[in-house]
Amino acid sequence: MRDPDALLEVRGLKKAFGGVVALRGIDLTLERRQIIGLVGDNGAGKSTLIKIISGVYPPDEGEIQYEGKPIRFSSPMEARGVGIETVYQHLALIPQMSILRNFFLGKEMLRRIGPFGFMDFNDMRGICKEALEGLGIRVRCLDEDVSFLSGGERQAVAIARALHFGAKLLILDEPTAALSVRETETVLNYIIEARNRGLAVIFITHSLHQVYPVADRLVILEHGRKIGDFKRDEVALEDLTGIIRGTQTKDSS
């Protein structure tokens, strides 16, 4: 059954690494303006699933439809080109470069002087500041190196950048794993803001308690299978914990 409003649909996704089967046939539909909490134990296949969606790996089997069209990415660049942005914990910003330079890396704004293009720092500064403040991030000095920022601040910059450059699907793989409680809360706020702007967000975590309050939908993986897919409002946190512990098995409609 195809959902015409769906941003992304995957069907029968399978992936093995040598003898290790990471995904055993996953179906998943993502709608716009929705936060999906993707939960499951270590090794459940969460990262593999989103790496296929974001063009890092090709699937062994299965199909992907994006905005109604079948699609097969051969690189993360291609996925990014159509609006699928992934914020990895450590793979988002260049530590030795300033916030401003990172924000526009690969998409620098230029001002032409004769045949030469020079970076338009004034315009970039204004836009970067606006993009960060739009997420509620205070900006004092955009020229500071990213290496001086905390993990949460780095993610904030990466998320703001993704939003600014027109992401439609934002994927975060365990973004809060190394963050303090307060920083985690802040990152969750950014995710809500991204959803409110119309993005689909996949938020991976192995802490159900963390994602439950903010998610619109919860998808549970185990051993490469989807063992649950619920609207948040239709399921209680206790039931979900039960499913993850294996005391209950239940699938949604």
Partner 1 sequence: MPKRNASSAEWQGVTLLGINRRTTLQQKEMGVLIATIATGILFTIFARNFISWANLVTVLTMASELGIVAIGMTFLLISGEIDLSVGSVFATIPLIMAMLFVYHGISEWIGMGIALLVAAGIGYLNGQITIGTGIPSFITTLGMMMFWRGIVLALTGGRPVAFFGRSTLLAILGGLLPGGVRAVSIWFVVLVFILWLVLEKMRYGNWVVATGGNKDIARELGVNVRKVKLINFTLTAVLAGFAGCIQFARLGSASPAYGEGLELEAIAASVIGGTSLVGGYGSILGTFLGALLMAIIRSGLVLAGAPAYWYRSFVGAIVIIAVIINRKLGSGGSQK
Ligand X SMILES: Nc1ncnc2c1ncn2[C@@H]1O[C@H](COP(=O)(O)OP(=O)(O)O)[C@@H](O)[C@H]1O
The residue among 88 and 104 lying less far from ligand X, judged by its C-beta, is 88
82 binds partner 1 (CB under 8 A): no
Which backbone phi and psi does 102 adopt, to 5 degrees?
A: -65, -45
10 Å Cβ neighbour count for 47? 18
DSSP letter for 90, please: S
18: left (phi over 0), alpha (psi -120 to 50) or beta: left
Residue 43: contacted member of Mg ion, ligand X, partner 1, none (CB under 5 to 8 Å, by partner type): ligand X
The residue among 33 and 206 lying less far from ligand X, judged by its C-beta, is 206
Selected binder of partner 1 within 17, 27, 61, 91 (CB under 8 A): 91
Please report how the helices 151-164 and 181-196 are oriented relative to each other, as an axis angle in degrees rounded to 10. 10
142 binds partner 1 (CB under 8 A): yes
Stretch that binds ligand X, among 37-45, 61-69, 144-152, 239-247 (CB under 6 A): 37-45
CA 235 distance to own-chain centroid: 23
Taking the CA of residue 21 as centre, how many other CA atoms within 13 Å lie in the half-sphere pointing to its CB?
11
Inter-residue contact 251 to 223 (CB < 8 Å): no
Stretch that binds ligand X, among 35-43, 103-111, 142-150, 164-172 (CB under 6 A): 35-43
106 binds partner 1 (CB under 8 A): yes
Binding to Mg ion (CB under 5 A) within 42-61 occurs at 47
Which residues of the shown chain bind partner 1 in the complex (CB under 8 A)?
Answer: 76-77, 80, 91-99, 101, 104-108, 110, 116-119, 129, 132, 135-145, 147-150, 152-153, 156-157, 182-183, 186, 189
